[in-house]
Amino acid sequence: MSDFYGSDTFRYVSNLLLVAGGGDPVLAERFNEDPDVGEDTVLEWLEEEGLPPTRILREDVERACSGEEPLYFLDHDRFAEIYRKRFGISQPHLDRFEGWLPNLSETEKKSAFPLPWKYAACYVERKHFYESEEWQRCAKLIRVLDQLQCRDCGCSGSSTGRLHVHHDEVLYTVFSGRFSYNFDTCRLRTLCGGCHRKLHSRSIRKYTCFVGTRSKSEKRADAALQAHEKQCHNNFPVCFYCHVACVE
């Protein structure tokens, strides 16, 4: 039995239950006390917690119980590690942020970086991220954890369609130490298309998050700022993702 506690099966099932519990260790501790349970029992535990018996849940439980790493029920650090590995990125690079800036004047630097934070993904990287396999798998996980329902209005959908997954914070670049936040279940929530559009129509970015507003002048200022960021991105070669790393 001591060998089993150090096995891949024990590790993968324990991690899956931890993720399925939203970080609550109750299910993982239950498995730790009774590790001889089989695949069917693990699924029963998860259904008792309200998780719908979707295909991705059943397949990941089968993988974990067979000693294989799950594809969907992974923690945010593991998703980030897999994503970075695909691009050959071993660690964040933006701790050397000032070292790769081109020779710009102070005025140009202020124009190039209109926001007081520098770790957000540019619009090019955001597009690549949302098209990535890792994000698609994470989004399916979030829908299942939210029981295939919109967190705002409660309407139902499926793990693959009709329901969106919203980031409560801006999308962080792969070269930032905060990149794993993009996969953090605590910073993601399921919304239907209508509620998602309503949220963005009534909010603006404030540093790294979104805050509600009904002010038309604030919305216009936020739209102008985003347009300015895109223009600066295209005019100044300061984007680490596009001009230094050349990630494709």
End residue of a domain, out of 17, 34, 65: 65
Predicted local confidence at residue 100, as pLDDT: 46
Higher-pLDDT residue of 36 and 192 is 192
Sign of CA dihedral 173, 174, 177, 180: positive
Strand ranges (E), the chain: 163-167, 188-192, 203-206, 209-212
At a CB cut-off of 8 Å and minimum separation 6, what does 108 contact?
A: 236
125 with 169, same domain: the answer is: yes
State the pairing for strand pair 203-206/163-167.
unpaired
Residue-number span of the structural domain to which 143 is assigned: 88-244
Q: Is residue 78 part of a domain?
A: no
164 with 98, same domain: the answer is: yes
- What are φ and ψ of residue 69, in 5° steps? -70, 135
24 with 145, same domain: the answer is: no
- Burial track 158-195 (b if 16+ CB lie within 10 A, e otherwise): ebeeebbbbbebbbbbbbbebbbbbbbbeebbbbbeeb
Instruction: Count how many residues are written for the chain.
Output: 248
Q: Is residue 80 part of a domain?
A: no
Task: Give me the number of domains the chain comprises.
Answer: 2
Q: Is residue 194 part of a domain?
A: yes
Predicted local confidence at residue 96, as pLDDT: 46
Model confidence over 68-77: pLDDT tens digits? 999 999 999 9
108 with 230, same domain: the answer is: yes
Q: Is residue 75 part of a domain?
A: no
Q: Is residue 35 part of a domain?
A: yes
Strand partners, 167: 188
What is d(CA 21, CA 33) in angstroms, rounded to the nearest whole number?
17
45 with 93, same domain: the answer is: no
Q: Is residue 221 part of a domain?
A: yes
Predicted local confidence at residue 224, as pLDDT: 81
Predicted local confidence at residue 45, as pLDDT: 95
46 with 168, same domain: the answer is: no
- Report the half-sphere exposure of 113 (CA within 13 A, side-chain side): 18
6 with 99, same domain: the answer is: no
Tell me if 112 sits within 8 A of 97, measured CB to CB.
Answer: no
146 with 209, same domain: the answer is: yes
27 with 133, same domain: the answer is: no
Helix, strand and coil percent figures for the chain, each rounded to 5: 55, 10, 35
Kindly state the average pLDDT of the residues 107-129. Answer: 70
Smallest Cα–Cα separation from 195: which of 154, 157, 167?
154
In the chain, the percentage of residues whose pLDDT exceeds 70 is: 81
Q: Is residue 77 part of a domain?
A: no
Smallest Cα–Cα separation from 190: which of 154, 136, 226, 241?
154
- The whole model's pTM is what? 0.85
59 with 93, same domain: the answer is: no
What is d(CA 12, CA 88) in angstroms, rounded to the nearest whole number?
24
61 with 96, same domain: the answer is: no
Lowest-pLDDT range, 79-88, 119-128, 178-187, 231-240?
A: 231-240
140 with 227, same domain: the answer is: yes
Tell me if 189 sits within 8 A of 168, measured CB to CB.
Answer: yes
